[in-house]
Structure 1
Amino acid sequence: MRILWGCVVAAVITALAGLFFLIVKPQLRDNARLDAFYERVLDYPLPPSTRNLFPMDGDAIFDKNLSMGSGSYCDYRVRITLQTALTPQEIRRHYDSASIPGAEEEAMITLYFSDEDSAGGRQVIVEAYDSHDWDGDWRCF
């Protein structure tokens, strides 16, 4: 009887470990994709006369349908805030030619500009975005 209970317990533990692995593996993969995407965005050269305003406090998010669409998509978004002396047109030219690999495809870049401050500079939020169909991560289902 002890052997039977031992086998049942071993089977249950094995099944739970397998289920845990099936659930956690996609999460670990997508977290690694987000981390790598974040690093590629930060590593992209900044325009001249521009600095990262919060170099230790970037914003990287992974979630379902960040772009407010419908369906089961996994979305990756990275935002950095820059301080620049350049015009919006110069910043746009710099990022229009940007080639930053996303988590799956080429990242889409969106720029948000503040008004010029009293010192002649402005803040720019650079948002890099990528998305792919659901591939097992329960957070995107």
Structure 2
Amino acid sequence: MAVIFTPIALAFALIMMPIWRDNARLEAFYKRVLDYPLPPRSRDVFPMDRDVIFGKNLSGGSGDYCDYRVRITLQTALTPQEIHRHYDNASIAGAEGKAVISLYFEDEGPAGGRRVIVEAYDSHDWDGDWRCA
């Protein structure tokens, strides 16, 4: 019986190891984004809007790349320029390199304040995870 199941278990492990590794990288990346200090007078009041994605070529293009993207939505009293200054100095480690930070702003709401989407992104060449091939 072990003669049959051992090769199956080994094949399963070989296929799953890159998936487990990339899932762990995504989880660690997500935690680093959430741990980065928020700008002053800003709150993370939209946890249901968080978006954590791993996949192939999320930013478009061609090739076999593994992409990691984390989005959070903040409510802020700051201007877009102040938010940009805060995140221009951000040094958040991505899955393999330094994360690229993009900011998307909504107009100020009637109750004051505005929403800003903070998107952290990182990518690397394919390294065995079939989801990126």
Identity over aligned residues, as a percent? 73
Q: Which of these two proteins has the greater Rg computed from alpha carbons?
A: 1
Supply the distance in 2 between the matched residues of 1:116 and 1:18 (Cα, whole angstroms). 55
- Residue segments in structure 2 that go unaligned for 5+ positions in a row: none
Residues 101-140 of structure 1, C-alpha deviations (whole Å, 9 max, x = no match)? 0000000000000011112210000000000011111101
Normalization by structure 1: what TM-score? Answer: 0.90
Code of the residue aligned with 1:130 in structure 2: it is: D
Match of 2:61 among 52, 64, 69: 69
Supply the distance in 1 between the matched residues of 2:59 and 2:50 (Cα, whole angstroms). 19
Alignment of 1:114-129 (within 5 A): 114-129=106-121
Over aligned residue pairs, what C-alpha RMSD do you find? 1.2
Alignment of 1:12-91 (within 5 A): 12-55=4-47, 58-91=50-83
> Which SS does the other structure have where 2:47 is aligned?
coil
- Residue segments in structure 1 that go unaligned for 5+ positions in a row: 1-8
Supply the distance in 1 between the matched residues of 2:106 and 2:113 (Cα, whole angstroms). 9
1:105 maps to which residue?
97
Supply the distance in 1 between the matched residues of 2:31 and 2:2 (Cα, whole angstroms). 42
The alignment covers a number of residue pairs equal to: 133
Supply the distance in 2 between the matched residues of 1:12 and 1:111 (Cα, whole angstroms). 53
Supply the distance in 2 between the matched residues of 1:70 and 1:87 (Cα, whole angstroms). 36
Q: Report the alpha carbon displacement of residue 57 of structure 1 after superposing the two structures with TM.
A: 5.3
Supply the distance in 2 between the matched residues of 1:99 and 1:68 (Cα, whole angstroms). 24
1:5 maps to which residue?
none
Supply the distance in 2 between the matched residues of 1:57 and 1:82 (Cα, whole angstroms). 9
Q: Report the alpha carbon displacement of residue 14 of structure 1 after superposing the two structures with TM.
A: 1.6
Residues 4-56 of structure 1, C-alpha deviations (whole Å, 9 max, x = no match)? xxxxx533322111110011111111000000000000000000100002236
